[in-house]
Amino acid sequence: MSAADHGGSGAERFGTGSASSHHGELLQGVFRDAAGRRCAGLVTLPMAGLGSRARFTRRPGTPPERLTVRPADRAKAERAATLAVRECARRRGEPPCGGELRLAGGIPVGLGMGSSTSDVIAAVRAVADSYGTWLPPDTIATLAVRAELACDPLMLDARPVLFAQREGRVLEVLGPRLPPLVVVGCVLNNAEPVDTLALPACAQDDTDLRAYESLRTLLRRAVATRDVRLLGEVATASAVRGQERLCHPEFTALTDIAPRVGAVGVQIAHSGAVAGILLDPAAPGLRHRIDSCVRALRSNGIPVTRTFATTPATTKETQRGPAHRGGDRPAGPRAPRRSAHLPAL
């Protein structure tokens, strides 16, 4: 029996949903879509182990505006739940109603790991579950963009895609999966959240478009040929361009450390402070290179967070740090952080 079957007619119905997070981007910029139109796009770096969980209790017969969310500051998730209620009620031929949305999870806010999108998708899935229905990824993406203006492709499967975040659509499926990577994660700028709305506007001209399209071609080739080094070059080039807006003071140290430890490159969150040094797991001396990377980051005052792999085969070997404990993450961009969260995001 599904969660939506609990309770009789007119009784409260509940549903649950969840969504994953990511570790920033491998590529972000401006690209052409299939019609030749210019649009913003990104390719995220997936990361297992963190995400949002939602439980939605709908109350048939109550006004749809009587919808509450806990924690109360999750305005984007609240908007998403309201939109999802309307969509699911329409599909079921029922009037929309109110309810209560509860969110939990461990994604740090403001670091560029998709915390708001994860909340939004978990909320939409919980609402759909309460109605006993399933919403396809493109519908979830549309609702997510309406709720937060731009979203990450966390509603899709693990295939690497170039995603138009402001439109909620896939520009290109780059291949079946990323080449195997080991990522030594860290945070820049003292882990300060990034207010993306306060960043200066970045005008993208035809020169920028050609550069990003070239990186797109290289990333497509890297995925097709499983070329870890080429993928690292693309991610580094995109990160360098991203620093034109973010201006993290430790970024130069990050790019200096990477070649010294035999890394293939670096990646960053283009809308946050999380970053990573990318290693080829097939190259000799992986454990030594990870340890050298961690020491070099710490010696430069850069907090190390988590080492993880993009493929299940190497995750257990390379993941470091204590297991993350569940619970609500700090609410709001300026909420105090518990230091225990940084060693293992």
pTM of the model: 0.86
CA distance 27 to 171: 13
Tell whether the model's pLDDT for residue 32 goes beyond 60.
yes
| Phi, psi for residue 268 in degrees, rounded to 5 | -140, 165
Angstrom distances, CA of residue 86 to CA of 16, 57, 58:
17, 15, 12
* pLDDT at site 203: 60
Which carries the bigger pLDDT value, residue 145 or residue 328?
Answer: 145
Tell whether the model's pLDDT for residue 255 goes beyond 70.
yes
| Phi, psi for residue 107 in degrees, rounded to 5 | -80, 120
Tell whether the model's pLDDT for residue 267 goes beyond 80.
yes
Residues paired with residue 20 on neighbouring β-strands, in sequence order: 51
User: What is the average pLDDT across 283-308?
Assistant: 96
Extract the tokens encoding 111.
């670091």
User: What is the average pLDDT across 276-292?
Assistant: 97
Domains and CATH numbers, the chain: 3-171 (3.30.230.10), 178-344 (3.30.70.890)
For the segment 101-143, what is each residue's pLDDT rounded down to a tens digit? 999 998 988 899 999 999 999 999 999 999 999 999 999 999 9
Q: Shortest CA distance to 219 belongs to which of 278, 156, 306, 286?
A: 278
Confidence of residue 196 (pLDDT cuts 50, 70, 90): low
Tell whether the model's pLDDT for residue 1 goes beyond 60.
no
State the average pLDDT for the chain: 87
CA distance 54 to 57: 10
